[in-house]
Amino acid sequence: MQYNFDEKFLWGAACSGPQSEGNEGKQADSIWEYDSVKYPDKYYNQINNLTASDFYKNYKTYIKLMKEIGMNSYRTSIQWSRLINDREGTINKAGIQFYHDVIDELIKNDIEPMICLFHFDMPMYWMEEGGFENRDVLDAFADYAELCFNEYGNKVHYWSTFNEPVVIPEQGYLYVAHYPEVQDMKRAVQVAYNIQIASCKAIERFRKTNASGEIGIILNLTPSYAPENPTDKDLAACNLADLLFNRSYLDPAIKGEYPIELIEFLTGEDLLPTICDNDADLLKNNTVDYLGVNYYTPRRVKARTTTDDSSIKMPESFFESYTFEGQKMNPYRGWEIYEPALYDIAINIRDNYNNIKWYVAENGMGVEDEGRFRDEQGIIQDDYRIEFIQDHLAYLHQGIAAGSNCFGYHLWCPFDSWSWRNAYKNRYGLIGVDIYNDCALHIKKSGRWYKTLSTQHGFERRNEDDNNQS
């Protein structure tokens, strides 16, 4: 079967500043430089992000290879802590110039720059003041955003305020996986709410500047699925998980208000965040122009079958996950691979969110020890990654054919990057990075295939009958 996409469809990949650049040229730390250096044992092989993939020094080489593998767009992030040195707002002129240089180099190579303002990397000087728990930080974020719009607004046409805002409260304030490693659901809810307000404040500033283009947000959507033959309690648990992890971000970002069901739940559980007087107007008047969707794995949810004896309230206090025979898994991450969810996301956006324009901002497969798949020429034969992409694109194509307004697909990521506490344990890139050999670069088989995908605006795939006959 032939899967054709529009000739203007964006074929690209995504990364972030803290995962690629390294800290050269920075005058201030984010939480990642602080945490990965101070507590190295938390990180795989004790690898911090002080060098990362050395993009800061080698961005021209990386961008040349991005063009070579057919990317016509690249989403990355600006690091707040690279541009601004302290709480007083001192500007790092070298940081300002660096992002000008990167954006200019992308444009020169016919690669659309898509810029995110925040990718989990709170400056340490603001984390010391409470991070997003502190309302003052929301205004500081808006000031930083305005600086970016004024500097780069005539070059960048796709802005996003946050990448995966759910991850910040989820991993930092619930599951003790990111700094500051708090476990407090009420504080997590407050952080999540404040991030949405910060996003609206940034959008408000964007629309007051002369910046061109559009501004959106990138959400990590995990569709919730109840078991086969669910009970009413299973369905209720599944709906609650969807409210907490998906609709609590989709609704305010696109509709400008929170779901009534969610407000009632948070009120009943004494989890409602502190709200300021003008917040409702701020939400209503600063919805996004478009949506980025990161999709990796679904959420399998059923009603609790055991009593939650924990003294700490968590989302799992109200539901639990389940597995089933034949579940397709990525063993390196422990995540289910379920491609039809991308179609379900497309239809949900079409039917429930005004068919807002959107793109797949991340989708990818991390694999450990990829060096074992090198052929005699030293090229990593990552056919599994090609298959993963094709499987997901087939369902995305189906969603677009059904009328969903999707305008692009971005893989995570263009090159192997530092992945938080997993560091370089799992590799995701179309371009390999040898971090033990001065970050030497090599294009994987998937990178060459991606070039063909982009050039041909799609791909051809045999159906099962054809495969059986071969």
Rounded to 10°, the helix 340-352/383-401 angle is 30
Question: Quick check: bond before 180 cis, omega within 30?
Answer: yes
Q: How far is CA 250 from CA 130, 277, 353, in A?
A: 25, 22, 8
The residues near 238 (Cβ < 8 Å, ≥ 6 apart) are 224, 225, 226, 230, 301, 302, 319
Q: Annotated active-site positions, please? A: 164, 362
Q: How far is CA 422 from CA 58, 302, 309, 332, 460, in A?
A: 23, 29, 30, 11, 35
Q: How far apart are CA 57 and CA 67, in angstroms?
A: 18
The residues near 376 (Cβ < 8 Å, ≥ 6 apart) are none
Q: Is the Cβ–Cβ distance between 153 and 209 less than 8 Å?
A: yes
β-partners of residue 14 are: 75, 412
Q: Is the Cβ–Cβ distance between 370 and 317 less than 8 Å?
A: no
Q: How far apart are CA 181 and CA 175, in angstroms?
A: 7
Helix (H, G, I), strand (E, B) or coil at 307: coil
Place of tokens 């984010």: 30
For 271, counting Cβ atoms within 10 Å of its Cβ (0-12 exposed, 13-18 middle, 19+ buried), the class is middle
* DSSP sequence for 118-151: -SS--BHHHHTTTGGGSHHHHHHHHHHHHHHHHH
Helix (H, G, I), strand (E, B) or coil at 68: helix
The residues near 450 (Cβ < 8 Å, ≥ 6 apart) are 11, 69, 70, 71, 389, 411, 430
Q: How far apart are CA 453 and CA 2, in angstroms?
A: 12
Q: Is the Cβ–Cβ distance between 302 and 238 less than 8 Å?
A: yes
> Among residues 80, 34, 67, 71, which one has the least CA distance to residue 198?
80
